[in-house]
Structure 1
Amino acid sequence: MMKTALWLILLIGGIYLAMGMLLYIFQGKLIFYPTRILVYHPDAFFHGNAGNISGRIESIRQFHQLGLDVFIVDYRGYGKSTGRPNEKGLYTDALAAYDYLTQELGIPADSLIIFGRSLGGSVAAYLASERPAAGLALESTFTSVPDVASGYYPVYPVGLLTRYKLPTIAYLQKFDGPVLIAHSPDDELISYRFGRELYDAATGPKQFLEMRGGHNDGFFLTGNAYSEGYDRFFTSVLGNIEDAGVPERVQRSK
């Protein structure tokens, strides 16, 4: 009887000490629950003609969930950026953003996706025509300002009157990398046919994502098909390897 009691005491004591040792060794796992920031590759995001970066949180969240780090900029005159917006200035801002990513942060061009929505699509296409990139995604974008204006003001010679051309289709034709064109047939501002024309004009590997909803809410109303479409494009361009091509110092700064 005494031996049994002693054995039980030793067993309980051993378990107690073992549990205490495990708590000491693995206490960090009980206290800290870090959520790692996924880094496939960075995404340079150029928004539309209204609002500023504060109104793009939902879009940033969607891309982040797909494993991208989003670098979004406000053009001159937008948000807290100084100056007045103009076509040349927007292009200069895009080049400055690209140079910051590639030169200051050391992001390799072949790991950088350039994304533009609406007006930002024209800016993104210009940037892709001037600088190398892994891929280009244009969403709800026009072929050029005169093309859009001719639909709104058919009685005017818009080709002569428009000071801002933003010839997206011409820039797109200079980029031979992978392209995604996303557009909704229900877009009430930028006709769906412009999206199809951009797709037809792309010279490299290309994908088309048909969205649902209007010009400003299509990315939300399209639902899972939106995320799945972009995920297919990003994966086809960049693969599934996390952190590939991203400098270690950039990863540490997250």
Structure 2
Amino acid sequence: MSKLKKVLIWTLIIYFMVLGLLSFFQHKIIFQPKKLPKNYTFQFDHPFEEFFLETTDGERLNAIHFKNKHPKGVILYFHGNKGSLSRWGRITTFFAKKQYDVIVMDYRSYGKSTGIITEENLYKDAQLFYDYTSKLYKEDRIILYGRSLGTGIATKIASTNQPSSLILETPYNTMEEVTSYWLPIFPVKSILKFKFASNEFIQDVTCAVTIYHGTDDGVVPYASGKRLFESIPISEKRMITIEGGSHNDLINFEEYIKTIDKILDRNSNENQNVTSSGVEK
């Protein structure tokens, strides 16, 4: 056997071994939860209540409800793929301090939540929390906010309900697109179990949509978020480009700070509409 042939054989062996590992461990690559003990006590610098919702298959999902005396509305927040409510609770107090109530859940296996994640379970669980929220607030006062992984979930829920608006921070067009960006030499379409087809869900969204994305995002390429924006069929849409922004720091940029209040407050002004349909830079 020639040396070249041996190299080719070993290259193929290694390639398929890596492909098999990617297929087997994709759940752990995509979802990176932090478990919390059942007796863990949350501490945040804003009034809140901790609660659980039970799923139809008997799992318990943990959540935090930040409250204000006179809320402008409520934000139902779907977080990213890492951590737990111990982290995401601190992040979402940003919105609570702007006089918006906030409800943020931990996905199955995250924090104190039980159960095993599947894509279908994520959508069902998200709808469970939407139903819960709509019993406490009028539906036209609900803002859906998705960040990173949570953008696909938020878009799915917006596509089957009638919230006031949908805000997506660092969204992807599809999970397949992001995975192909990271692993261009592998047939990710054939092994990927989690599709998160935001580009399909967005076609049925009828509320106002705002996208925030940084040009230096090294996790979800800016181009993916822009493709999602361009696929939105309604005119009441807006994409705010954060020049130099990466995946986890958009809140530190002036462009985010100076626009987020207006985007949120359209919910509390019945006669005010977001009409811009351009990509802002």
State the match for 1:22 in structure 2.
none
State the match for 2:160 in structure 1.
130
**Aligned residues of 1:134 and 1:238 also touching (Cα < 8 A):** no
Matches within 5 A, 1:31-180: 37-103=69-135, 105=136, 107-180=137-210
* Cα offsets for 1:112-136 (capped at 9, x unmatched): 0000000000000000011111100
The yes-or-no answer on 1:218 pairing with 2:231 is no
Secondary structure of residue in 1 paired with 2:126: helix
Secondary structure of residue in 2 paired with 1:173: helix
- Relative to structure 1, the CA distance from residue 58 to residue 240 in structure 2 (aligned partners, 3 Å threshold; closer, same or farther) is farther
> TM-score w.r.t. structure 1 length?
0.75
The yes-or-no answer on 1:203 pairing with 2:233 is yes
Q: Which consecutive segments of 4 or more residues in structure 1 shift more than 6 A?
A: none
- If asked which structure has higher relative contact order (CA below 8 Å, sep 6+), I would say 1
Equivalent residue letter for 1:162:
L
**Aligned residues of 1:176 and 1:202 also touching (Cα < 8 A):** no
Distance in 1, Cα, partners of 2:249 & 2:90: 11
Distance in 2, Cα, partners of 1:51 & 1:200: 31
Equivalent residue letter for 1:198:
L
Secondary structure of residue in 2 paired with 1:136: strand
- Relative to structure 1, the CA distance from residue 60 to residue 118 in structure 2 (aligned partners, 3 Å threshold; closer, same or farther) is same
Distance in 1, Cα, partners of 2:90 & 2:210: 20
Distance in 1, Cα, partners of 2:76 & 2:198: 17
State the match for 1:189 in structure 2.
219
Q: State the identity %.
A: 31
Distance in 2, Cα, partners of 1:166 & 1:199: 16
- Relative to structure 1, the CA distance from residue 149 to residue 65 in structure 2 (aligned partners, 3 Å threshold; closer, same or farther) is same
**Aligned residues of 1:179 and 1:206 also touching (Cα < 8 A):** yes
Shift of 1:38: 4.0
**Aligned residues of 2:89 and 2:104 also touching (Cα < 8 A):** no
Secondary structure of residue in 2 paired with 1:149: helix
Question: RMSD of the TM alignment (CA)?
Answer: 1.8
Shift of 1:202: 1.8
Secondary structure of residue in 1 paired with 2:163: coil
Equivalent residue letter for 1:132:
Q
State the match for 2:29 in structure 1.
none
Distance in 2, Cα, partners of 1:127 & 1:166: 12
Distance in 1, Cα, partners of 2:140 & 2:154: 16
**Aligned residues of 1:122 and 1:168 also touching (Cα < 8 A):** yes
Distance in 1, Cα, partners of 2:196 & 2:118: 10
Shift of 1:201: 1.6
**Aligned residues of 2:220 and 2:247 also touching (Cα < 8 A):** yes
Equivalent residue letter for 2:152:
S
Secondary structure of residue in 1 paired with 2:204: coil
* Cα offsets for 1:70-106 (capped at 9, x unmatched): 1000111111000012211111110010111113x2x
**Aligned residues of 1:42 and 1:68 also touching (Cα < 8 A):** yes
Secondary structure of residue in 1 paired with 2:83: coil
- Relative to structure 1, the CA distance from residue 82 to residue 89 in structure 2 (aligned partners, 3 Å threshold; closer, same or farther) is same
Shift of 1:155: 1.6
More helix by share: 1
> TM-score w.r.t. structure 2 length?
0.68
State the match for 1:246 in structure 2.
none
* Cα offsets for 1:171-218 (capped at 9, x unmatched): 112102100000001111000011211211222301122234321222
Shift of 1:236: 2.8
Computing the radius of gyration over CA atoms, which structure comes out larger, 1 or 2? Answer: 1
Structure 1 residue runs without a partner (length 5+): 1-35, 242-254
Structure 2 residue runs without a partner (length 5+): 1-67, 272-281
